[in-house]
Amino acid sequence: MSTPKEPAYRKRVGYQAVLLGGFSTLATALLVAGNLATREDILARQQEDLLSSLNQVVPAETYDSDLLNQPLTLQDDKGHDLTVYRGLHGMKVNALAYEIVGQGYAGDIRLIMGINADGEVLGVRVLAHAETPGLGDKIELAKDDWILGFNNRSLTNTTEQQWHVKKDGGEFDQFSGATITPRGVVGAIHQGLKFFQAHRDELLDPPTLTETTVSHADLPLPPKTQE
Amino acid sequence: MSNDYKRLAKDGIWDNNIVFAQALGLCPLLAVTGTATNGLGMGLATTVVLVASGLFISLLRGIITPQVRIPVFVLIIAVLVTLVDMSMNAWVHDLHKVLGLFIPLIVTNCAILGRAESFASRNTVMASMYDGLMMGVGFTLALVVLGATREMLGSGTLFANAEMLLGSWAKAIELTLIPDYKGFLLIILPPGGFLMLGFIMAGKRLIDRSLAERQARMADDDAELTLESTS
């Protein structure tokens, strides 16, 4: 680079500018090409991820439709959009799955919960959290089976007071050294069930399936309800 | 020439190791070395970027002027890392799920810019790629050693989840060293990373010093021998 016989043009500002501009253009072109080449694969992988996390909270035998097809968007009580995935069995909405958020010790705990048409929890799993490793991370199924304790719970078989951790006079265990994390998770699931109760009719109203909204039609679809 | 390459290898892996000697790249280092497997994956990804940036920067060293070299190097490295990130996300998605968070961190590894600046911009393509490879191997080694130590002390396992990175055969190297280990939280958290790094660096210096002492003693012996034979 620092050869003694450096050509004079290299010292000019114009050359430097063209060099920087050229490299920026080249970099942009490369990134666009990379994005085009990988976009569809990445999208497909993300759908697979979503489906596999949905299938953890909604057992595959409870529905025979495509879970990712025609998700419902509703507003929760705080005015945020909430995407609800619906599993149909025949023409009836049999299982629902949606994301809930709990306040943990270190920020939001994002969870996904599955619920059946009777308002019973089918399953809950943690999607993302930043809780302390070794203490609060027992909410992950990989670390502890605590999260399975919510299965089959509903607003009817567990009272308002019981929807708390034991320390607050409720039903659910807290962890030694971590109470805030399980408190946040219990609260979020309780809120999730209340959301179901409040929007029961909308949620259980079977969607009208149209060909155009079918993004990946490898799964058999239930018959159409509209002409 | 082969001596030069031997020198490069020795520099990259031991004498001038990115972590243990230069103390560079500590941000990705401390973030990922909770387990040996994460360390290995991060090390391999960094090696790929080091070799590729060595290739491109030494190829382009004739047209890049000293005045604009830094932004151009940064641009090249950032593009490489982004491309690696996107292609891993698309085609080795399971691995990306484990390492995805850390791939963008490679850009923050100043060791890569350091090698581009101090080596690739003034050496041939072959030498630059080889230097990148050796620096990457040294970095990987450091990450695996640190990750393994922290994993053993912190969670009582070794190479946990290695099958996600290397395929199903790697189940064989996943060890649980201490069953029912309650864990040693400090070691898993970043401060533990700093502590372990300090101990390992101290260990390396002790080894270096004893090597140097032995060499000095041998030189002395040689000198005495030659003295005796001449007298």
- Considering chain A, what is the average pLDDT of its residues? 83
pLDDT score for A209: 58
Q: Answer whether B138's CB lies under 8 Å from B56's CB.
A: no
Give the lowest-confidence range in A31-40, A78-87, B144-153: A78-87
Q: A122 by DSSP, 3-state: which?
A: strand
Q: Answer whether A122's CB lies under 8 Å from A192's CB.
A: no
Nearest to B43 by CA among B25, B61, B60: B25
- Tell me which of A31, A45, A47, A140 to substitute to probe the interface with B (most B C-beta atoms closer than 10 Å): A45
ipTM for the whole complex: 0.74
User: Rounded mean pLDDT of A104-129?
Assistant: 90
Q: Nearest-CA distance from A136 to chain B in Å?
A: 12
Pairwise CB contact (< 8 Å): B185 & A132: yes
Could you say which residues from 77 to 136 on chain A have a Cβ atom under 8 Å away from some Cβ of chain B? 132-135
Could you say which residues from 16 to 45 on chain A have a Cβ atom under 8 Å away from some Cβ of chain B? 16, 19-20, 23-24, 27, 30-31, 34-35, 37-38, 41-42, 45
How many other C-beta atoms lie within 10 A of the C-beta of residue A21? Answer: 10
Contact residues, chain B, for A132 at CB < 8 Å: 185
Contact residues, chain A, for B68 at CB < 8 Å: 16, 19-20
A176, pLDDT greater than 90: no
pTM (predicted TM-score): 0.74
Pairwise CB contact (< 8 Å): B79 & A27: yes
User: Rounded mean pLDDT of B142-151?
Assistant: 91
Pairwise CB contact (< 8 Å): B91 & A20: no
pLDDT score for A210: 52
Q: Residue A16 is nearest to which of B65, B78, B82, comparing CB atoms?
A: B65
Highest mean pLDDT: which range of B90-99, B123-132, B219-228: B123-132
User: Rounded mean pLDDT of B104-131?
Assistant: 88
Q: Residue A34 is nearest to which of B83, B97, B122, comparing CB atoms?
A: B83
Label residue A107 left, alpha or beta by phi (over 0 means left) and psi (-120 to 50 means alpha): left
B64, pLDDT greater than 90: no
**pLDDT per position as a tens digit, B148-195:** 999 888 888 888 777 777 777 777 777 777 777 777 778 888 888 899
Looking at per-residue pLDDT, the higher value among A64 and B54 belongs to B54
pLDDT score for B202: 92
Contact residues, chain A, for B75 at CB < 8 Å: 23-24, 27
Q: HSE (CB half, 13 Å, CA atoms) of B228? A: 6
Q: Nearest-CA distance from B62 to chain A in Å?
A: 6
The owner of tokens 């060595």 is: B54
User: Rounded mean pLDDT of B99-125?
Assistant: 85
B58, pLDDT greater than 90: yes
User: What span, in angstroms and rounded, lies between the C-alpha atoms of B149 and B153?
Assistant: 6
Highest mean pLDDT: which range of A2-6, B3-7, B158-162, B170-174: B3-7
A215, pLDDT greater than 90: no
Nearest to B61 by CA among B105, B152, B125: B125
> Which residues have a Cβ under 8 Å from the Cβ of A19 and sit 6 or more positions away?
B63, B64, B65, B68, B72
User: What span, in angstroms and rounded, lies between the C-alpha atoms of A91 and A221?
Assistant: 10
pLDDT score for A59: 85
Give the lowest-confidence range in A202-211, B20-29, B115-124: A202-211
User: What span, in angstroms and rounded, lies between the C-alpha atoms of A61 and A54?
Assistant: 13
Which percentage of chain A shows pLDDT scores above 70?
Answer: 89
pLDDT score for B136: 92
Query: How many contacts, defined by CB atoms under 8 Å, are there between A and B?
Result: 71
Q: Nearest-CA distance from B32 to chain A in Å?
A: 14
Which percentage of chain B shows pLDDT scores above 90?
Answer: 30
- Tell me which of A9, A28, A40, A42 to substitute to probe the interface with B (most B C-beta atoms closer than 10 Å): A42
pLDDT score for B222: 78
Contact residues, chain B, for A134 at CB < 8 Å: 183, 185, 188
B134, pLDDT greater than 90: yes
Q: What is the 3-state secondary structure (H, E, C) of B155-211?
A: HCEECCCHHHHHCHHHHHHCEECCCCCCCCHHHHCHHHHHHHHHHHHHHHHHHHHHH
pLDDT band at B227 (very low <50, low <70, confident <90, very high): low
pLDDT score for A184: 92
User: Rounded mean pLDDT of A72-85?
Assistant: 81
Looking at per-residue pLDDT, the higher value among A78 and A164 belongs to A164
Give the lowest-confidence range in A8-22, A175-189, B171-185, B211-225: B171-185
Q: A83 by DSSP, 3-state: which?
A: strand
pLDDT score for B1: 52
Q: A152 by DSSP, 3-state: which?
A: coil
**pLDDT per position as a tens digit, A10-29:** 778 888 899 999 999 999 99
Tell whether A2 lies on the interface with B, counting CB pairs under 8 A.
Answer: yes
A86-to-A116, A123, A207, A217, B102 alpha-carbon distances in Å: 10, 15, 9, 16, 34
pLDDT band at A226 (very low <50, low <70, confident <90, very high): very low
pLDDT score for A136: 83
- Considering chain B, what is the average pLDDT of its residues? 85
Tell whether B183 lies on the interface with A, counting CB pairs under 8 A.
Answer: yes
> Beta strands A72-75 and B157-158: pairing type?
unpaired
Contact residues, chain A, for B117 at CB < 8 Å: none
Pairwise CB contact (< 8 Å): B89 & A34: no
Q: Nearest-CA distance from A19 to chain B in Å?
A: 7
pLDDT score for A127: 87
